[in-house]
Amino acid sequence: MIREQERSGLSGVLMIVLLLAATGFGIVNVLGAARDQSIGSLLGWLLALAFVLFLWAGLFTVQPNQGKVLQLFGSYAGTIRAAGLWWANPFYTKKAISLRVRNFETTKLKVNDHNSNPIEIAAVVVWQVTDTAEALFEVDNYEDYIKVQSESALRGLANQYPYDAHEEGIMSLSTHTAEVAEKLKGEIQERLAKAGVRVLEARISHLAYAPEIAGVMLRRQQATAVIAARQKIVEGAVGMVEQALDMLNQKQIVHLDEYRKATMVSNLLVVLCSEQATQPVVNTGTLYA
């Protein structure tokens, strides 16, 4: 495995001064040899001037948050990360790699969740190159590699968890967003370890049931919500009935036998749990009539 080796180049400003002086000196001597009509001296100074001009090709710039990977005849020679104007061997090939933070959104994938329900899912991945040598030499195209491996990790994550949890204590894609995002980040980072890339953040950007079951699952969610609401209503109604019976007993407003208590409890539960307004029936006779 090829690891990054950071190196520094010669100062470009200093080399410009030296090369300008060498170029000027070479031109003066070429003109002098031409004036003296000395063929041998002229050829020598022309070759020297050509070599100086060739050295100008060693100048290059490095932008902030950028790395220049140097190669000599196919061999890795190091990476220059410091921003500025530099000079290196003109035979070096120089490949620029951005070290800036970048992000992309995966395509909407149609996969099955843990309960085998078809869902649509997509994610946003924020990443940064940390090792220029690995990014350039360990994988063929590190940008395509990141996208493919991120989608692969997203598919694997969707298969591990259900879309929605119908029981307490079960982690789901829709309810535990922070935990799911951290899990997705770890799985993507594991796949990109060989590409010299660090994953800064990964979050689900789109999550929905597939169109063919969206209507059915919506009705299921509505039914679940209705059942949960009914449970809360019943719990509150029972508490209110219990409180009413206790207050009647403590203040001795009326004495009820077990049968009349059951009737009162039934009537109160009907009134409290009914979705529509109830119509009271006024009893004008005796309590037992």
* Residue 182 or 271, more confident: 182
Residues 16 and 92 reside in one and the same domain? yes
Boundary (domain end) residue, out of 98, 114, 143: 98
Separation CA 132–CA 99 (nearest Å):
8
Residues 106 and 205 reside in one and the same domain? yes
Place of tokens 């196919």: 74
Angle at 218 between CA 214 and CA 220, to 5 degrees: 120
**Residue 263 pLDDT > 90:** no
Chain-centroid distance, C-alpha 64: 24
Residue 4: pLDDT band by 50, 70, 90 thresholds? Answer: confident
**Residue 120 pLDDT > 80:** yes
Residue 269 located in a structural domain:
yes
Q: Are 10 and 55 in contact (CB under 8 A)?
A: no
pLDDT tens-digit map of 23-64: 888 888 878 777 776 777 778 888 888 888 999 998 999 999
What is the DSSP-derived secondary structure letter of residue 13? H
Residues 79 and 178 reside in one and the same domain? no
Residues 106 and 94 reside in one and the same domain? no
* Residue 8 or 262, more confident: 8
| pTM, full prediction | 0.68
* Residue 274: predicted pLDDT: 64
State percent of the chain over pLDDT 90.
31
Place of tokens 């360990």: 138
pLDDT tens-digit map of 174-216: 888 889 999 999 999 999 988 889 999 999 999 888 777 656 6
**Residue 253 pLDDT > 80:** no
* Residue 146: predicted pLDDT: 93
Distances (CA, A) of 226 to 127, 168, 174, 236, 237: 43, 17, 19, 15, 16
* Residue 127: predicted pLDDT: 94
**Residue 101 pLDDT > 90:** yes
**Residue 276 pLDDT > 80:** no
* Residue 70: predicted pLDDT: 93
* Residue 259: predicted pLDDT: 64
* Residue 252: predicted pLDDT: 67
Residue 127 located in a structural domain:
yes
Domain tally, the chain = 3
Helix (H, G, I), strand (E, B) or coil at 86: strand
Residue 246 located in a structural domain:
yes
Q: List the domain range (segments joined by +) for residue 81.
A: 10-98
Boundary (domain end) residue, out of 50, 82, 98: 98
Angle at 206 between CA 204 and CA 207, to 5 degrees: 95
Residues 146 and 165 reside in one and the same domain? yes
Helix (H) or strand (E) holding 186: helix 177-191
Q: Measure the N-to-C terminal CA separation of the chain; round to a whole number of Å.
A: 95
Helix/strand/coil percentages in the chain, nearest 5: 50, 20, 30
Residues 122 and 177 reside in one and the same domain? yes
Residue 284 located in a structural domain:
no
Residue 283 located in a structural domain:
no
Mean pLDDT for the stretch of residues 101-111: 91
Residue 233 located in a structural domain:
yes
Nearest to 153 by CA among 187, 112, 196: 187
Residues 171 and 114 reside in one and the same domain? yes
**Residue 125 pLDDT > 80:** yes
Separation CA 155–CA 107 (nearest Å):
11
* Residue 237 or 195, more confident: 195
Residue 188 CB neighbour total at 10 angstroms = 24
Residues 186 and 112 reside in one and the same domain? yes
Separation CA 263–CA 116 (nearest Å):
48
**Residue 286 pLDDT > 60:** no
Residue 51 located in a structural domain:
yes
Residue 158 located in a structural domain:
yes
Task: Quote the mean pLDDT of the chain.
Answer: 82
**List of residues 6+ apart from 245 with CB closer than 8 A:** 261, 264, 265
Name the CA radius of gyration of the chain, rounded. Answer: 39
* Residue 136 or 231, more confident: 136
Nearest to 156 by CA among 97, 202, 95, 215: 202
Residues 117 and 205 reside in one and the same domain? yes
**Residue 232 pLDDT > 60:** yes
Residues 125 and 46 reside in one and the same domain? no
Residues 178 and 250 reside in one and the same domain? no
* Residue 194: predicted pLDDT: 86
Backbone angles phi, psi at 265, to 5 degrees: -60, -45
* Residue 122: predicted pLDDT: 93
Boundary (domain end) residue, out of 98, 113, 140: 98
User: What is the sign of the dihedral through the CA atoms of 167, 173, 174 and 177?
Assistant: positive
pLDDT tens-digit map of 71-81: 999 899 989 99
Residue 284: pLDDT band by 50, 70, 90 thresholds? Answer: low
Query: What CATH number is associated with residue 148?
Result: 3.30.479.30
Residues 119 and 199 reside in one and the same domain? yes
